[in-house]
Amino acid sequence: MDSTRRQRPTTDQGTSDEDAELFWERHHRTRRAWGARVNPLLAETAAPLRPGAALDLGCGAGGDAFWLARRGWRVTAVDISTTAVQRVRERARDLGVADRVTAQQHDLARSFPAGQFDLVSAQYFQSPFPLLRSRVLRTAARALRPGGLLLIVDHGSTAPWSWSQDNHFPAPTEIADELDLDPGHWSVLRADTPRRRATGPAGETATVTDNILLVQRTAG
Ligand SMILES: C[S@@+](CC[C@H](N)C(=O)[O-])C[C@H]1O[C@@H](n2cnc3c(N)ncnc32)[C@H](O)[C@@H]1O
């Protein structure tokens, strides 16, 4: 754990535990090469933006962080898995973007990276363990600079190769309700459920639905 970069815990309830860390460690160790592609909705949202400081919550293999860094963003990439974080650091060096990617290990239910961001991205930041997700995402919304964007993309349906076959996913409006953000300070720019053709680890394809919520911080 990179304790020098941590802010104080976001919760004192200790709801996320070693099991979560073990689960995601195992997940990342067994999925060595897959997942380093940019997520299409992150690319679509960030492509027209002027690069600034970005935060990637649950960065996994780092595909989004590398894509952003190659376009000039300074990216803080965070994951609970030390294996994922270590690999993101190594791959960032290999890709020549190590100066723009800072990979940090956090259990986001317990600690949150320091800083203010122009873009916070939570791509499929979903877990079978208690995550205090709304609290994490509210903290993320508060870490935005005025004008900054919080992009939340969740599974709205499950691909056959997914680690989870859970089919209960909150709709974008439910996610927005849970965040309970003051409309005087944050605006919802997008809340919809597009479908796309997804490709799995063995090249298999399936049509899946994503649940998207895009929020902008309008005032400090
Ligand atoms: C479903 S994966 C999505 C990974 C990546 N964003 C992507 O789109 O490929 C969820 C990610 O969140 C991470 N994660 C789960 N619980 C976490 C927590 N409490 N704190 C930080 N990261 C967590 C996992 O290790 C995993 O990399």
Residues at CB less than 6 angstroms from ligand 1: 16, 20, 24, 35, 39, 58-60, 78-81, 84, 106-109, 123-127, 131
pLDDT at 18: 78
Low-confidence stretches of the chain (pLDDT beneath 70): 1-17, 32-35, 167
Nearest ligand 1 atom to alpha carbon 131:
19
Beta strands (DSSP E) in the chain are 53-57, 74-79, 101-105, 117-123, 144-155, 186-192, 195-199, 205-217
pLDDT in tens, 54-64: 999 999 999 99
pLDDT at 17: 65
pLDDT at 130: 73
User: Mean pLDDT over all residues of the chain?
Assistant: 89
Nearest ligand 1 atom to alpha carbon 164:
1
Q: What is the Cα–Cα distance from 48 to 30, expressed in whole angstroms?
A: 35
pLDDT at 7: 33
Residue 207 contacts residue 197 (beta carbons within 8 Å): yes
Interstrand relation of 205-217 and 144-155 (parallel, antiparallel or unpaired): antiparallel
Nearest CA to ligand 1 atom 14: 58
- The pick from 21, 24, 199, 210 for probing ligand 1's pocket by mutation, whose C-beta has the most ligand atoms within 8 angstroms, reads 24
pLDDT in tens, 17-35: 678 889 999 989 987 655 5
The residues spanned by each domain of the chain are: 18-30+38-217
Cα–ligand 1 centroid distance for 86 (angstroms): 14
pLDDT at 36: 82
Which CATH architecture fits 18-30+38-217?
3-Layer(aba) Sandwich (3.40)
pLDDT at 24: 92
pLDDT in tens, 181-212: 999 999 999 999 999 998 888 889 999 999 99
pTM of the model: 0.90
Cross-strand pairs, 192: 212
The H-assigned helical ranges of the chain are 18-30, 40-46, 63-70, 82-95, 133-142, 172-179
